[in-house]
């Protein structure tokens, strides 16, 4: 078959302008085609991101290349410094990341038309800043953790003393991380990492606090006080007693403290120094307690048996006042006198007559069956009470005067009443002394403050006019409202105890009027197999009222009723 011949159109001549236009069209088209061939992609030639060339690449190619070269550089730990402390920040946890796609979008040309493509012949893309994403909440949280480890508290300079040596604490500036202000530097450091900057440490902004006590002040305090204070012992004289105190002892009770204005001031713990054995020993030799003149009964009066003793002591204040000025002295000037305070006794031979101990106000005796524990315990209580001097308006206490009834205090085990029955305990029998004292104060006419009767009646005591005591729960107390002092005379035998009040009577006579028993109740019988059981005879319970009647010039002045309730004393049979 013969090939088909297609007719070729005839070309007619064109005007010059048309020809020129056609040539222009052919030129632009050629440039466009050449631009596409030369630039190839969507990014202008010469475009770089932190030194990575991405010109002529498509968006996808550029993203992959940037992620390969830059993303790893941004994901790392950053060394940071706050003040003079260093640490690290995990940039990923701090919410910092490199956005390759957004960076490529920023670098890419706006379109692929002829104007954009042909323009690529005449321009270079240049450097493009990478896009960094920052989660501020994460950044602040990460910086907050950094602050916990790197913040530094301010420290004032200080001077201390140890075993006679001076120790210096250097001042230190404090730093507090400015979390809000550190976010920007954190982002800048991330960008530097993308660029390949290997700077080792990034300083973060911090608030600075300078110490009030400076290094210059520490040097001044050491030179003018601390070193002289520890240079040698000081020698003290008190009440004629001379003794030395060495630097080690002085330093134990010495300190230098800031005064609020940045100055270190010396402080001496005079109380602690006074109690230190090196000082307490010598001072105790010159210390004595003031003792009142000792009195003794002389018929119905109390007279001076032994003169009073003036007391003397060294106070903490006096010790400190003597020692502190010596610490900056040298040689013989490190010696000084400690003032001794003298305390006068209240009762002396000269003023004893003013006490009014001129007559017997009252006297009372209680008899009891002999028992070794009673003799011991009653005798010990009498020993402690005898000679008590009760000044006007002063309150006397049985428990305070006698003390706890323990073996260490001279008491032994005996029979007492506990939970409405007899039992054994230390101090048994002391209630006989309490009852005797109560009756003495009753008939002396002074004011009872605290007293309590036995739970059930004991036949050897006056009904409604007896007392018992218990350490820590029940006391016998009275206030001396007679207007003059009272001297308590106490004495005992194996079967009796007698207490007398010597002083000045306020009333001519005191009488006791007892009423009838009321609310009488019968006892019960109980059997006990307790190995500590004490047999008990039965006795009815009852109420009784006793009136204290006061007389002056033969006339009744007043009456005071005292009501007592006794529970039945059950019969206890021990098996």
Residue pair 447/413 in contact (Cβ under 8 Å)? The answer is no
Residue-level pLDDT at 58: 87
Contact 296, 305 (CB under 8 A): yes
CB neighbourhood size of 486 (10 A):
28
Which of 261, 265, 167 has the alpha carbon at shortest distance from 221?
A: 265
User: DSSP labels for 311-347?
Assistant: EEE--HHHHHHHHGGGGG--GGGGEEEPP-EEE--S-
pLDDT for the residue numbered 27: 46
pLDDT in tens, the chain (575 residues): 434 433 334 434 444 434 344 444 444 444 444 444 444 468 888 898 877 888 889 888 888 888 787 766 555 778 888 988 888 888 888 888 778 888 888 888 644 445 444 444 444 568 887 888 888 888 898 888 888 888 999 999 999 999 999 999 999 999 999 888 888 888 887 777 766 555 678 888 999 999 999 999 999 999 999 999 999 999 999 999 999 999 999 999 999 999 989 999 999 999 999 999 999 999 999 999 999 898 989 888 899 988 999 999 999 999 999 999 999 999 999 999 999 999 989 899 888 889 999 999 999 999 998 889 889 999 999 999 999 999 999 999 999 999 999 999 999 887 666 555 556 666 678 999 999 999 999 999 999 999 999 988 988 899 999 999 999 899 999 999 999 999 999 999 999 999 999 999 999 999 999 999 999 999 988 888 887 787 888 999 999 999 999 999 999 999 999 999 999 988 888 88
3-state helix, strand, coil in the chain (%, to 5): 30, 35, 35
Fold of 216-343: Ubiquitin-like (UB roll) (3.10.20)
Helix ranges, 75-178 (H) = 100-107, 114-119, 136-150
* pLDDT per residue as tens digits for the range 334-386: 999 999 999 989 899 888 889 999 999 999 999 998 889 889 999 999 999 99
Residue 60: what pLDDT?
87
Measured CA to CA, the distance from residue 540 to residue 524 in angstroms comes to: 9
* Structural domain boundaries in the chain: 28-150, 216-343, 356-574
- Residue whose structure tokens are 């300079």: 157
Torsion of CA 259, 262, 264, 268, to 10 degrees: 10
Q: Whose structure tokens read 């003290």?
A: 236
**Is the pTM for the entire model greater than 0.85?**
no
């Amino acid at each position: 078959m013969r090939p088909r011949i297609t007719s070729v159109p005839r070309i007619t001549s064109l005007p010059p302008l048309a020809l020129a236009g056609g040539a222009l069209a052919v030129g632009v088209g050629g440039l466009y085609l050449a631009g596409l061939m030369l630039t190839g992609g969507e990014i202008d030639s010469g475009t770089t991101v932190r030194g990575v060339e991405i010109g002529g690449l498509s968006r996808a190619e550029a993203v992959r290349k940037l992620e390969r070269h830059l993303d790893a550089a941004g994901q790392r730990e950053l060394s940071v410094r706050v003040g003079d402390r260093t640490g690290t920040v995990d940039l990923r946890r701090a919410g910092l990341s490199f956005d390759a796609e957004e960076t490529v979008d920023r670098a890419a040309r706006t379109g692929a038309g002829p104007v954009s493509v042909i323009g690529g012949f005449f321009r270079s893309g240049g450097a493009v800043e990478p896009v960094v994403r920052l989660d501020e909440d994460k950044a602040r949280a990460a910086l907050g953790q950094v602050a916990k480890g790197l913040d530094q508290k301010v420290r004032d300079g200080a001077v201390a003393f140890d075993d006679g040596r001076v120790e210096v604490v250097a001042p230190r500036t404090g730093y507090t991380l400015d979390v809000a202000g550190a976010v920007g530097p954190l982002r800048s450091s991330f960008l530097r990492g993308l660029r390949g900057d290997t700077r080792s440490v990034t300083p973060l902004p911090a608030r600075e606090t300078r110490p009030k006590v400076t290094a210059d002040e520490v040097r001044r305090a050491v030179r003018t006080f601390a070193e002289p204070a520890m240079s040698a012992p000081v020698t003290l004289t008190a009440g004629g007693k001379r003794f030395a105190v060495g630097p080690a002892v002085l330093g134990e009770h010495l300190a230098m403290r800031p005064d609020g204005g940045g100055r270190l001031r010396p402080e001496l713990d005079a109380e602690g120094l006074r109690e230190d054995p090196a000082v307490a020993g010598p001072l105790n030799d010159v210390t004595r307690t003031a003792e009142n003149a000792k009195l003794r009964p002389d018929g119905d009066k109390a007279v001076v048996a032994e003169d009073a003793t003036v007391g003397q002591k060294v106070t903490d204040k006096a010790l400190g006042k003597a020692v502190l000025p010596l610490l900056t002295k040298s040689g013989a000037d490190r010696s000084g006198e400690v003032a001794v305070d003298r305390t006068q006794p209240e009762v002396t031979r000269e003023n004893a007559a003013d006490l009014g101990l001129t007559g017997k106000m009252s006297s009372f005796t209680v008899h009891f069956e002999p028992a070794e524990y009673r003799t011991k315990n009653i005798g010990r209580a009498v020993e402690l009470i005898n000679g008590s001097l009760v000044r006007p308006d002063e309150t006397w206490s049985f428990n305070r005067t006698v003390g706890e009834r323990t073996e260490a205090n001279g008491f032994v085990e005996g029979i007492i009443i506990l939970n409405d029955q007899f039992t054994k305990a230390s101090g048994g029998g002391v209630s006989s002394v309490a009852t005797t004292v109560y009756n003495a104060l009753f008939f002396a006419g002074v004011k009872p403050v605290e007293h309590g009767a036995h739970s059930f009646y004991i036949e050897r005591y006056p009904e409604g006019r007896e007392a018992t005591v218990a350490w820590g729960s029940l006391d016998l107390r009275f206030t001396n409202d007679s207007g003059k002092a009272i001297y308590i005379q106490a004495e005992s035998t194996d079967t009796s105890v007698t207490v007398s009040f010597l002083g000045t009577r306020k009333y001519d006579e005191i009488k006791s009027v007892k009423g009838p028993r009321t609310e009488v109740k019968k006892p019960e019988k109980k059997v006990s197999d307790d190995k500590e059981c004490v047999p008990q005879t039965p006795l009815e319970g009852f109420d009784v009222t006793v009136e204290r009647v006061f007389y002056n010039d033969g006339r009744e002045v007043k009456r005071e009723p005292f009501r007592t309730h006794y529970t039945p004393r059950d019969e206890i049979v021990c098996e």
